[in-house]
Amino acid sequence: MFMAAVNTQTSTNNPDVVVVGGGPVGSYVALHLAKLGVKTTVFEEHHAIGFPSHCAGHISIRSLRGMGLYPLPRGIVENTFCTANFYSPAGTKFSINLSCPVTVVLNRAHFDQYLAGQAQAAGASFVLGSRVQSLLKEGISVRGVDVVQTDGGDQKVYSKIVVDAEGVSSRLLRQAGLSALKPRGLVYAVEAEMENVQNVEPNAVEVYFGKSYAPGFYGWLIPRPDSSAKVGLATNTGNPQEYLKRLMTKHPVASKQLAKAKITSIGYHAITLGGPINRSYADGFLAVGDCASQVKPTTGGGVIFGLTCAKTAAEVASQAIAKGDLSSNILKNYQKRCHDQLNFDFLVMLRLRRFLDSLSDERLDEMLRVCGKLGVDKALRDVDEIDFQGKMLLTAARKPAMAAALAYFGLLYLSANP
Ligand SMILES: Cc1cc2nc3c(=O)[nH]c(=O)nc-3n(C[C@H](O)[C@H](O)[C@H](O)COP(=O)(O)OP(=O)(O)OC[C@H]3O[C@@H](n4cnc5c(N)ncnc54)[C@H](O)[C@@H]3O)c2cc1C
């Protein structure tokens, strides 16, 4: 099993950059800052990196490879997938079978520890059990953080730039003078570790759509070879745990797959689907990852977009420090570069999310049947891009079946949103 050694007793004297949060995004910012020679300290409120884990860890191989993160060391990848089975609430199935594995499911705790270990090896310091309570400010400029150790003690740490990678809790945004995450963009997730899952293909992820089981999002089952699985869903209304119970007992397909399943652990966490926040920089401050809502509005996947923006944040912060200008005038380049890279995909995915949210369960059933009849599965067979979904759709739309399906979806969308 992979275990990163992360210092807990590291000096916090005068870092150039303080990073708030030792999740994947915080560690990846720290890794790139350290590689650029910037003195960096990461504060993580928990005593261990990667815990508690709240994420399914379903990630595209192509994107990981593009970042130089694939292949990963042993013990991080739990399974690989070349098939996705989509179900309507009535049990209609539509499958996409790809020619080779396109996604992996990661042990998120081990992945987070791996990234933290890489950052530490590059020279970044990690201080665990240390919660950033507030930002230190001079006028409108952020100048550092006030840190509270969980075993007592309070410390002021001054820096040139603070990078906020605190995740969806996003408590520091307002202190920096930025807007908080929009509550309307949030869905509330439950994810359980389950044993003894039956009737699943070993290399297929299961996706359960529909307002009856997961209003505002979907349910998922991600199997491992040993018949265990990560099973979860998110909703924009009601109690996610009640919906999970309903999925396990009432869904025509999931109830059979989970009839004998045993829940070994369960966790709850919010997912932000509203698209990137309007402004993710201030004087001496950058917001990255979930706290900046750099998350795919369709699937809730935030690791790849968060890491993409993390690298950009490190580059812009390092340039600002080298120039001796930490003002928002320089730091706004971070937002511009992220926007140039991701905005088209975000716009497409926000519309797709609205489209999916607008469909009744009956329409969803019809849609999956139509996808099957039109041969959308064959049109998507060569797809290996699942993160940058705007660009992916542009490519796929060149195939007649996909073009016909998109025209049909467009009509459905217009009839649901006159
Ligand atoms: C149920 C669920 C399933 C998901 N599945 C997937 C998936 O399959 N694929 C995918 O790509 N994404 C998935 N996501 C989204 C993914 O988990 C996030 O996008 C990703 O973890 C964002 O990383 P981050 O570093 O920005 O935030 P986080 O991973 O939340 O890390 C933030 C860190 O900051 C620390 N912290 C917070 N506040 C403070 C503070 N004040 N001081 C010090 N430390 C602090 C926290 O302890 C935490 O370690 C899922 C999310 C959920 C809820």
Using the CB atoms, write b or e for 156-188: b if 16+ within 10 Å.
Answer: ebebbbbbbbbbbebebbebbbbeebeeebbbb
pLDDT over 90 (residue 397): no
pLDDT over 60 (residue 274): yes
For the Cβ of 240 lying below 6 angstroms from any atom of ligand 1, the answer is: no
Nearest C-alpha neighbor of 274 from the set 303, 297, 304: 297
Burial class (CB in 10 A: 0-12, 13-18, 19+), 318: buried
Query: Ligand 1 mean position to 383 CA, how many Å?
Result: 27
CA-nearest residue for atom 2, ligand 1, is 55
Q: Which of 181, 207, 290 to mutate to test the pocket of ligand 1 (most atoms within 8 A of CB)?
A: 290
Nearest C-alpha neighbor of 295 from the set 241, 238, 239, 353: 353
CATH code that applies to domain 17-53+110-181+274-349: 3.50.50.60
> So what's the pLDDT on residue 389?
77
pLDDT over 70, % of the chain: 96
For the Cβ of 54 lying below 6 angstroms from any atom of ligand 1, the answer is: yes
**Average pLDDT value for residue range 225-236:** 98
**Average pLDDT value for residue range 89-104:** 93
The tokens describing 390, both together, are 């705007």
Query: Ligand 1 mean position to 34 CA, how many Å?
Result: 22
**Average pLDDT value for residue range 233-243:** 98
Residue 12: which pLDDT band, with cuts at 50, 70 and 90? low
155-159-163 Cα angle (round to 5): 100
Domain 184-272, CATH number (from 3.30.9.10, 3.60.20.10, 3.40.50.1980, 2.60.40.10): 3.30.9.10
> So what's the pLDDT on residue 402?
75
**Average pLDDT value for residue range 44-54:** 96
pLDDT over 70 (residue 5): no
Higher pLDDT, 394 or 279: 279
Query: Ligand 1 mean position to 165 CA, how many Å?
Result: 9
CA distance 310 to 90: 41
Higher pLDDT, 416 or 307: 307
**Average pLDDT value for residue range 42-55:** 96
For the Cβ of 166 lying below 6 angstroms from any atom of ligand 1, the answer is: yes
> So what's the pLDDT on residue 379?
78
Q: Is 95 helix (H, G, I), strand (E, B) or coil?
A: strand
For the Cβ of 169 lying below 6 angstroms from any atom of ligand 1, the answer is: yes
- Contact between 261 and 288 (Cβ < 8 Å): no
pLDDT over 60 (residue 10): no
Residue 334: which pLDDT band, with cuts at 50, 70 and 90? very high
Query: DSSP secondary-structure letter at 169?
Result: G
Q: Which atom of ligand 1 is nearest to the CA of 26?
A: 25
CA distance 191 to 188: 10
Supply the mean pLDDT for the chain. 93
pLDDT over 90 (residue 261): yes
Q: What is the pLDDT of residues 275-291, one digit of tens each?
A: 999 999 999 999 999 99
> So what's the pLDDT on residue 1?
35
- Contact between 351 and 273 (Cβ < 8 Å): no
pLDDT over 60 (residue 11): no
Higher pLDDT, 61 or 408: 61
Residue 151: which pLDDT band, with cuts at 50, 70 and 90? confident
- Contact between 229 and 221 (Cβ < 8 Å): yes
> So what's the pLDDT on residue 4?
41
The tokens describing 349, both together, are 């995915």
pLDDT over 50 (residue 417): yes
- Contact between 12 and 157 (Cβ < 8 Å): yes
pLDDT over 80 (residue 416): no
> So what's the pLDDT on residue 9?
46
Q: Is 16 helix (H, G, I), strand (E, B) or coil?
A: coil
CA-nearest residue for atom 29, ligand 1, is 23
> So what's the pLDDT on residue 398?
75
Q: What is the pLDDT of residues 173-225, one digit of tens each?
A: 999 999 999 899 999 999 999 999 999 999 999 999 999 999 999 999 999 99
Q: What is the pLDDT of residues 361-380, one digit of tens each?
A: 999 999 999 999 988 888 77
What are the backbone dihedrals phi and psi of residue 220, each rounded to the nearest 5 degrees, phi first? -145, 155
> So what's the pLDDT on residue 388?
79
Segments making up each domain of the chain, as ranges:
17-53+110-181+274-349, 184-272, 358-416
